[in-house]
Each structure stands twice: as C-alpha cells, then as structure tokens.
Structure 1
Amino acid sequence: MNYEKLLRDKMIESAKVSNAEVAEHLRVAKHDIKVGRDIANIDLDWAFTATYNGILQASLAFMYCKGYRPRGEGKHFVTFEFLKGALPKEWNTRINRIQKLRQKRNKTVYEHRGLITERETKDVIEFAEYFYHEIEVILPKEIVKLLDKD
C-alpha cells in the first residue's frame, strides 16, 4: 500500500464507511454505467460523463472499503491516485487510462461540448463494465452480497 504520501499531504483521510454505504456506491456505479449505455445514441457527451461517473463511484467504493476518503480539491484525481497506491502495479495501465478519461470528462463538462466521439463512448462503456466487474471481484463478498438484496 503506497498511498502514505496522499495521507501526509492531507489529500485523503481515514473514514469509517459501512458496508451498506460501499454497496450503495457500487449500485450507483452500475446504474450510471447502464445510463451511459442507454443514452449513447442520444447524447455522446452525457453518455461519456455518466459512464465516467460509474467508474468514479466504483473507485470510491473500493477506497471507502479500505477505510479512506478523498478530501480537499481534486477529489476525482486523488481517488484514482489512491487506487494506484492501493492496487497492484498491474492496475496502473487501467488507472492511467482513467486519469485520461477524467481529463476528457472535465473538458466536455466545463469547457466544450461535442468533444466525445461515438467510438470513445463505446470504448468507455466497455471499459467501465470491465472495470466495475474487476472492482466488484476484489471487494469483500459481504459487500457484494448486499447488491443481491435489490
């Protein structure tokens, strides 16, 4: 676990988050990824943004499960940097990709609409579904079982 620098720099803090709250973030992640898929033929920018949010929510579920939360500015960036420190190095390529998705999402939300292509939307949805599954697999079974209660 190499997120001590984030702790020292007060970019993350300890947090006591219940299993139910972690499961709720997974529910939101799954929902947002589905919304992204559902609206991909209507609005590419919002499909991308909703899907990105699904990735963020799955990432937060993992972070909360580990007993931490982001604080201060740049919470999305910090969340993904936490993943880089908390997950094995094999995840780094995925996390670097997510940081690029974050930058693209910021541009499309805050600067200029119409940046997202059909191909990018399709790719981010497929990646998000894969990423969600990968996060779900590494979370404790008692959290994942809470999803079955829906």
Structure 2
Amino acid sequence: MDDWYKNGWLKRHKTSAEEIRGLMAIVGRDLQDGCVDDISLDWRFGIAYNAALKLCTLVLYSEGYRAARDLQHYRTIQAMMIILGSDRKDDVAYLDACRKKRNIVEYEQAGVTTEAQADELVEFVRNFRTDVVAWLTENHPELVDR
C-alpha cells in the first residue's frame, strides 16, 4: 500500500468505528434495496454494486487509506487483492467487471442487466459482507461493534 501512496493513488485516511458503522449501514440498506422488484434490473445492479464498493471502501479505510479521486472505484476494488490477499483475485476480477457494467448502465445504455446478473451481485455482496466482517474482527477489532 505504501507504493500506491507514494504514486499518489491513495491518500491517508483515519477512520473510526462510527464511520465503519455508517458504511455498514449503507451496505445493509443497499442490499435490501437491491432486492426490490419494483425498480429496473439496471438500478438493482447499480445499488448492489454500490454496496460492494462500500465494503471495499471500508476495508481500505480500515488500513488507513482512501483512494485518490482519479480512478477511485478501480483503485478501491484493486486494493482488495493487496489487503485481503491474492486469493481474492477472482473476486476482484468479478467486481471490476461489475464496475464496468455499472458504468454502462449508469452513463451509456439502459436495459442491459439481466435478473440473473442483479441477483448474482446481491448474493456476492451478502457473502463478501460476511467475509469483511470476519476480516475486520480479526484485523481491526477496535472498529467493530460488539
């Protein structure tokens, strides 16, 4: 992470249990909203993506950093391989593909998300949240509510 900081890709960030709690609340809200059938599949996907990004963000914050503005989502996601380990390579690749898809549905084209894609991302986020809470508890117990 120090190399990323020296390159200007990351900034120092001091987090708190309150900030982590707030981000977790956003994840919970977004997981709930991402399952609502009354909104478009594109929007459900975008909401679930936001939940995944918030989980990545709170992991990065927990390590004392935040992504610089340039390529913020990309760097936040890519940092997971460094922080959580190289065994998360497939998860990082999946989230990066979701990031690209989210950009398409947000800025370029509507109606390109399938129900299976939206549901898959919601399920991924549920599992990832469990993993992140376990990681936080082990590595930064001072940031976890007991």
Q: TM-score, normalised by structure 2?
A: 0.91
| Equivalent residues of 1:30, 1:132 under 8 A apart | no
Q: AA paired with 2:120?
A: D
| Alignment partner of 1:4 is 2:2 | yes
Could you tell me how far 1:5 is from its partner in structure 2?
3.2
Q: Is the 8 A contact 1:19 1:65 kept in 2?
A: no
For 1:36, the equivalent position in structure 2 comes to 34
Structure 2 alignment gaps of length 5 or more: none
Query: Equivalent residue for 1:88?
Result: 85
3-state DSSP class of the match of 1:139? helix
Once the 2 structures are TM-superposed, how far is the Cα of residue 21 of structure 1 from its aligned partner?
0.4
Shift of 1:142: 4.2
CA apart distance, 1:102: 0.3
2:47 counterpart (41, 44, 50) = 50
> For residue 130 of structure 2, what is the aligned residue in structure 1?
133
1:77-100 Cα offsets, whole Å, 9 max, x none, are 010111121121111111111011
SS of alignment partner, residue 11 of structure 2 = strand
Residue in structure 1 matched with residue 143 of structure 2 by the alignment: 143
Does 1:119 find its partner at 2:130?
no
What is the Cα deviation at residue 40 of structure 1?
A: 3.8
| Paired residues of 1:56 and 1:76 also in contact (CA < 8 A) | yes
**Larger deviation, residues 91-100 vs 134-143:** 134-143
Contact preservation (8 Å) 2:26, 2:51:
yes
5+ long unaligned stretches in structure 1:
none
Partner in structure 2 of residue 106 of structure 1: 103
Indicate conservation of the 8 Å contact 1:23/1:61, yes or no: no
Counterpart of 1:145 in 2: which secondary structure? Answer: coil
3-state secondary structure, aligned to 2:87 = helix
* 1:72 to partner: Cα distance: 2.2
Aligned residues: 143
Aligned-partner SS, 2:80 = helix
Which residue is 1:27 aligned to?
Answer: 25
CA contact (8 A) 2:17 2:145 kept: no
Q: CA RMSD in A?
A: 1.4
Query: Which residue of the partner structure matches residue 61 of structure 1?
Result: 58
The letter for the 2-side match of 1:92 is K
How much has 1:29 moved relative to structure 2? 1.1
